Amino acid sequence: MGSPGGGRSRDEPKTTQLTEEQVANITQDKEVKAALGRPIKRIIRDKQDKIILNVGDLITHKAVLRAREIGVLDVLLNSVYRRPSQPSIES
């Protein structure tokens, strides 16, 4: 007659539904973690044209926070330099 307390039985898996915003935040957090410590390939400026990051600067937590505050985090994440993968040479 059901489980004590009227809750779900132990056999039923508990599913959690994430909102689109939560999924986007998780994805963005992963992108930020992957970008930290990597160089930038373009200048990132704030609304007063002050430079947040210059070409070749490394992405830091501080730069990510500033970019997020002024709404250019997406620009920063799209400007991360990623070295092209090189095929492995096997002997």
Q: What pTM, to 2 d.p., does this model score?
A: 0.67
Task: Show me where the domains of the chain are located.
Answer: 37-82
pLDDT at residue 90, as a whole number? 66
Locate all alpha helices (DSSP H) within the chain, ordered by sequence. Answer: 20-35, 61-70, 73-77
Q: Which residue has the higher pLDDT, 86 or 4?
A: 86
Asked if residue 80 lies in contact with residue 38, where contact means CB atoms within 8 angstroms, the answer is yes
Q: Which residue has the higher pLDDT, 87 or 19?
A: 19
